[in-house]
Amino acid sequence: MKPRVPRPTSDRATTTGEDSAPDQDRPTDAPALQEPEGESSSDHRGFPDESPLDFPEPASVGSRRRRRRRLLTLLISLAVLLGVVATLYFSPLLVVRTITVQDNDLLTDERAQELLAPLHGTPLAQVSQGDVENLLEDERAVDEVMVAAALPEGLEIMVIEHPPVAEVHVGEEILFYSQQGELIRTFDESQRPDAEGYATPVISSEAALENESVFRSIVSVLGQLPEGARESLDSATAESRDSVQLELEDGRTVVWGNDERGAEKAAVLEAILGSPSGEFDGVEVLDISTPSAPVTR
């Protein structure tokens, strides 16, 4: 009979109760290694941080940016201005529909409207003072004009006229002349403007009416007189350029001579006319042809 060999016992069976404690009491996972706070993995690898660096902007770049901004603002403002100008210049809403003429007397309203009719329908911005002057250039009574727009559809024209200094009667017509001897208005006697508005002595001598140089000498003399003195005159005559005589309304005669030294002669005549009543009683002729030595008789 073979001897019995004892069975070896299991290591598990021979372990103590402490060794046979369940595996759940043992930690199953090792804690993960943590990087030091404030450091990135790239720091450990020796690579720099890839975030961009903030460099200060050069002054020249900022200056160029401001210049571009100002230029853009200027261009926008200019475009708006051009748009407004174009609207005013071409707009059919701002055209001449009414024309008002002011301070005209020798130039009648009817004649003025007739001459200025071509301006109707023209954009206000396109009407210049030169346009108005060209339309009125044949009216010798007109010296100057001033033009202003009266939005939205009006045009205002102020007229400055040549003052008439003399008148000539031809039949039933009255002719007004300027200081330059130009005919500035002809009208029937029934249409004569208010006599108080003009001081226009009558030129009546045949020599003056037939000889242009004599006539111009007379109107030149009358033009040098202040209006107040001219209002005291009734007529003016001359047989030559050097023999101009003025007839006062009270019947006295003023010997003027030629048209030289007109300002001095005018001052003497004004002084005589303004003298106290009675000082020149009985005087029929006032000779001021030599203003520094006037003579009365």
Specify whether the CB–CB gap between 159 and 102 falls below 8 A: yes
Mean pLDDT of the 119-144 span: 93
Residues 252 and 292 in one domain: yes
End-to-end CA distance of the chain: give it in Å, rounded. Answer: 206
Query: What integer pLDDT is reported at residue 84 of this predicted model?
Result: 66
Which spans in the chain are helix H? 11-14, 41-45, 59-90, 109-116, 129-136, 206-210, 212-224, 227-230, 262-273
Considering the domain architecture, whether residues 232 and 281 belong to the same structural domain is answered as yes
Residue 156 parent element (H or E): strand 154-161
pLDDT digits (tens, 9 = 90+) for 218-236: 999 999 998 888 989 999 9
CA distances, 114 to each of 60, 108, 135 (Å)? 66, 10, 10
Q: Are 148 and 156 in contact (CB under 8 A)?
A: yes
CB 273 within 8 A of CB 232: yes
- pLDDT recorded at residue 56: 62
Closest CA to 245 of 294, 288, 199, 188: 288
Whether 239 and 154 share a structural domain: no
At residue 187 the predicted structure's pLDDT band, cuts being 50, 70 and 90, is confident
Last residue of a domain, one of 113, 142, 161: 161
Residue 272 has pLDDT above 50, yes or no: yes
Residue 247 in any domain: the answer is yes
Tell me the one-letter amino acid at 248.
L
User: How many residues make up the chain in this entry?
Assistant: 297
CATH of the domain at 247: 3.40.50.10960
If one counts every other C-beta atom within 10 angstroms of the C-beta of residue 246, the result is 26
Count of other CB atoms within 10 angstroms of residue 98: 10
Mean pLDDT computed over every residue of the chain: 81
Q: What pLDDT digit, counting tens, does each position of 8-65 carry?
A: 554 444 444 444 444 444 545 545 545 555 444 444 455 455 555 555 666 676 677 7
DSSP label at 20?
A: T
| Domain's final residue, options 115, 130, 161 | 161
Q: What is the pLDDT of residue 34?
A: 52
- Do 109 and 128 lie in one domain? The reply is yes
- Tell me the pLDDT band of 260, cut-offs 50, 70 and 90: very high
The tokens describing 163, both together, are: 């003052």
Q: Indicate whether 172 and 292 sit together in one domain.
A: yes
Are 113 and 126 part of one and the same domain?
Answer: yes
Percent of the chain with pLDDT over 70: 75
Is there a domain that residue 81 lies in? no
Phi, psi of 197, deg, nearest 5: -85, -15
Per-residue pLDDT at 293:
94
Kindly state the percentage of the chain with pLDDT values over 90.
49
Q: By residue range, what is the domain housing residue 266? A: 166-296
Higher per-residue confidence, 125 vs 265: 265
| Domain closes at, from 119, 135, 161 | 161
Residues sharing a CB contact under 8 Å with residue 100, sequence separation 6 or more, in sequence order: 150, 154, 155, 156, 157
Q: Which two tokens stand for residue 97?
A: 């529909």
Is the domain of 223 the same as that of 271? yes
Residue 201 shares a structural domain with residue 265: yes
Which one-letter amino acid corresponds to residue 264? E
Q: Are residues 178 and 276 in the same domain?
A: yes
pLDDT single digits (tens) 61-79: 667 778 888 888 888 888 7
In a domain, 5, yes or no: no
Over residues 84-105, mean pLDDT:
82
Tokens of 127: 């009407």
CA dist 62 → 71, 72, 76, 254, 265 (Å): 14, 15, 21, 86, 77
Do 129 and 188 belong to one domain? no
- Both 173 and 142 in one domain: the answer is no
Beta-bridge mates of residue 98: 154
Count structural domains, the chain: 2
Interatomic CA distance for residues 188 and 186, integer angstroms: 7
Between residues 35 and 239, the one the model is more confident about? 239
